[in-house]
């Protein structure tokens, strides 16, 4: 049994707290901390089977983080705050001698560019301290890497082609809203796309490549090729991969709204002067858009996320598809959250459990695919994210060919 400090009280933080509380045999004490303590208090008040402590903390401030960690003395810090804050929280964990985990990789606040180099640079420091840092333990990144590692372990001698496909076929009834932090979401999809092919990265204009993909229980949905951080670690740790791509669905209405916001400058991340004050347009936009955590109550439909894989087994070509579908209404009934928050928060709890029970525990900085996938896959079935697989299923005909 171990104490955990969870930093971040948004939609994902809500799920992580409640799922950890449901597993009190592992998580003996929980503290939830955020810049806004009232958000923490609201989430804590909804947990019926455990007293959750709350605290105010500025995750950009290392001394504040160190003070809180030393006061609560957790074994693990679960970071579900903003990706800008990954490094300050990692610094605080190193200073306090505490294990670290997050759900999204670091990106600088002043540049829409996310990659693992900043966090991978912590490898020696964590190893020397005998501490572990687990990076990107959500669904994508996170479960998608576990799915890929599971496929390699049980179905392939070599993986050659990987397509991660992510569909949200839900309806929240809003004209325009993002399913997770609007600032992070919009930065992610408005930067240039990128995919891996033949040993190098191929860069494309934002949202310039798209096609319909057939999702289980959902049907065909227009899907856009984006860059996503798990591609970087997967091609590094599974070097037989010849091509790796990431696809995500967006409705025509969402694309139209986004295009207009871009055209009028509301997605800019540089500062402008407004009535004598410096503001960032995208941060202002975030303030007026619906809070992602508020979308759950009337959300209908489901998400469908998986990995389409082609490779070699025993000298023969083989295809494999592994995926999860998650229902928005069902997750709201369970934890008061929509499925996008749920599919990130549940894996974060499972990853923490893997670390605290020493099933995944060794000094250093690691990505999800670097551990035995089997116990994690078992936990997905137990905690609300059952997975399904199809072997030698027909995959898109252009699979081995460039888009």
pLDDT of 311: 97
Separation of alpha carbons 346 and 132, rounded Å = 20
Confidence band of 114 (pLDDT split at 50, 70, 90): confident
**Residue for token pair 């009535």:** 275
**Nearest to 212, CA basis, from 261, 257, 241, 169:** 169
What pLDDT, on the 0 to 100 scale, is given for residue 333? 95
Q: What is the pLDDT of residues 171-206, one digit of tens each?
A: 665 555 565 566 666 767 778 899 999 999 999 998
**Cβ burial 298-309 (10 Å sphere, 16+ → b, else e):** ebebbbbbbbbb
Q: What is the mean pLDDT of the chain?
A: 90
More confident residue, 288 or 200: 200
Fold match, 2-135 / 143-335+387-391: no
Task: State yes or no: pLDDT of 256 exceeds 70.
Answer: no
Is residue 296 within 8 Å of residue 337, measured between CB atoms? yes
Give the fold, CATH level 3, of 143-335+387-391: Dihydrodipicolinate Reductase; domain 2 (3.30.360)
Residues 202, 194 contacting (CB under 8 angstroms):
yes
Domain boundaries, the chain: 2-135, 143-335+387-391
What is the C-alpha to C-alpha distance for residues 107 and 102, in angstroms, rounded to an integer?
Answer: 13
Q: How far is residue 74's CA from residue 65's CA, in Å, rounded to a whole number?
A: 12
The pLDDT of residue 399: 46
Q: How many residues does the chain have?
A: 403
pLDDT in tens, 56-92: 999 999 999 999 999 999 999 999 998 989 999 999 9
> Per-residue confidence at 163, pLDDT binned at 50, 70, 90?
very high
Most confident range, picked from 95-109, 115-129, 296-310: 115-129
Q: Taking 90 as the threshold, does the pLDDT of residue 210 lie above it? A: yes
Which are the contacts of 349, defined by CB distance < 8 A and separation ≥ 6?
Answer: 15, 16, 19, 20, 23, 383
pLDDT of residue 403: 37
Give the ranges where 130-241 is alpha helix by DSSP (H): 143-154, 182-190, 230-237
Structure tokens at 334: 């369970």
In angstroms, the CA 308 to CA 72 distance is: 43
State how far Cα 73 lies from the chain centre: 26
**pLDDT, average across residues 345-365:** 98
Alpha carbon 209 to chain centroid, angstroms: 23
Second-level CATH architecture of 2-135: 3-Layer(aba) Sandwich (3.40)
Res 143 pLDDT > 90: yes
Q: What is the pLDDT of residue 400?
A: 40
**Mean pLDDT in residue range 90-114:** 89
* pLDDT, average across residues 128-149: 98
Decide: 352 and 101 in contact? Cβ < 8 Å: yes
- Report H helices in 314-372: 328-335, 339-356
Q: β-strands 200-204, 210-215: how paired?
A: unpaired
Q: Which residue has the tokens 């799922």?
A: 19
User: What pLDDT score was predicted for residue 402?
Assistant: 37
- The mean per-residue pLDDT over the stretch 226-230 comes to 94
The answer on pLDDT for 135 being more than 90 is: yes
* pLDDT one-digit tens code per residue, 295-339: 656 778 999 999 999 999 999 999 999 999 999 999 999 999 999
How many other C-beta atoms can be found within 10 angstroms of the C-beta atom of residue 41? 14
> Mean pLDDT throughout 228-247?
97
* Percent of the chain clearing pLDDT 90 (strictly above): 74
Residue 225: CB atoms within 10 Å? 22
- Residue burial 50-75, b: 16+ Cβ < 10 Å; e: rest: bebebbebebbebebbbebbeebebb
The confidence score (pLDDT) of residue 112 equals 61
Q: d(Cα 231, Cα 369) in Å, to the nearest integer? A: 11
Residue-wise pLDDT for 242-252, tens only, equals 999 999 998 76
**Taking phi first (over 0 means left), then psi (-120 to 50 degrees means alpha), and beta for anything else, what does residue 24 get?**
alpha
- In angstroms, how far is the first alpha carbon of the chain from the final one? 49
Q: Which residue has the higher pLDDT, 341 or 292?
A: 341
């Amino acid at each position: 049994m171990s104490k955990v400090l969870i930093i971040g009280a948004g939609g994902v933080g809500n799920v992580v707290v409640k799922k950890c509380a449901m597993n009190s045999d592992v998580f003996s004490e929980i503290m939830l901390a955020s810049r806004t303590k009232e958000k923490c208090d609201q989430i804590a008040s909804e947990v019926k089977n455990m007293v959750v402590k709350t605290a105010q903390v500025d995750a950009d401030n290392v001394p504040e983080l160190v003070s809180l960690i030393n006061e609560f003395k957790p074994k693990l810090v679960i970071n579900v705050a903003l990706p800008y804050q990954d490094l300050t929280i990692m610094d605080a964990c190193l200073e306090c001698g505490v294990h670290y985990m997050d759900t999204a990789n670091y990106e600088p606040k002043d540049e829409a560019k996310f990659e693992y180099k900043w966090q991978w640079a912590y490898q020696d420091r964590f190893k020397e301290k005998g501490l572990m840092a687990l990076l990107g333990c959500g669904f994508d990144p996170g479960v998608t890497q576990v799915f890929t590692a599971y496929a390699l372990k049980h179905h392939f001698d070599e993986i050659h082609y990987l397509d991660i496909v992510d569909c949200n076929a839900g309806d929240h009834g809003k004209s325009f809203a993002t399913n997770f932090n609007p600032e992070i979401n919009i930065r992610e999809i408005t930067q240039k796309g990128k995919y891996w092919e033949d040993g190098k990265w191929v860069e494309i204009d934002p949202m310039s490549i798209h096609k319909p993909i057939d999702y289980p229980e959902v049907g065909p949905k227009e899907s856009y090729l984006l860059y996503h951080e798990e591609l970087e670690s997967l091609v590094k740790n599974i070097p037989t991969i010849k091509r790796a791509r990431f696809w995500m669905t967006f409705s025509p209405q969402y694309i139209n709204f986004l295009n207009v916001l871009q055209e009028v400058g509301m997605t800019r991340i540089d500062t402008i002067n407004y009535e004598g004050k410096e503001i960032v347009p995208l941060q202002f936009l975030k303030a007026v858009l619906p809070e992602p955590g508020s979308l759950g109550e009337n959300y209908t439909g489901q998400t469908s996320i998986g990995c389409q894989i082609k490779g070699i087994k025993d000298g023969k070509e083989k295809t494999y598809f592994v995926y999860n579908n998650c229902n928005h209404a069902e997750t709201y009934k369970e934890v008061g959250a929509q499925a996008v928050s749920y599919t990130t928060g549940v894996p974060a709890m499972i990853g923490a459990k893997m670390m605290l029970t020493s099933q995944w525990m060794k000094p250093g900085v690691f990505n999800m695919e670097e551990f035995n996938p089997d116990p994690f896959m078992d936990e997905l079935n137990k905690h609300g994210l059952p997975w399904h697989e199809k072997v030698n299923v027909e995959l898109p005909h252009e699979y081995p060919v460039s888009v």
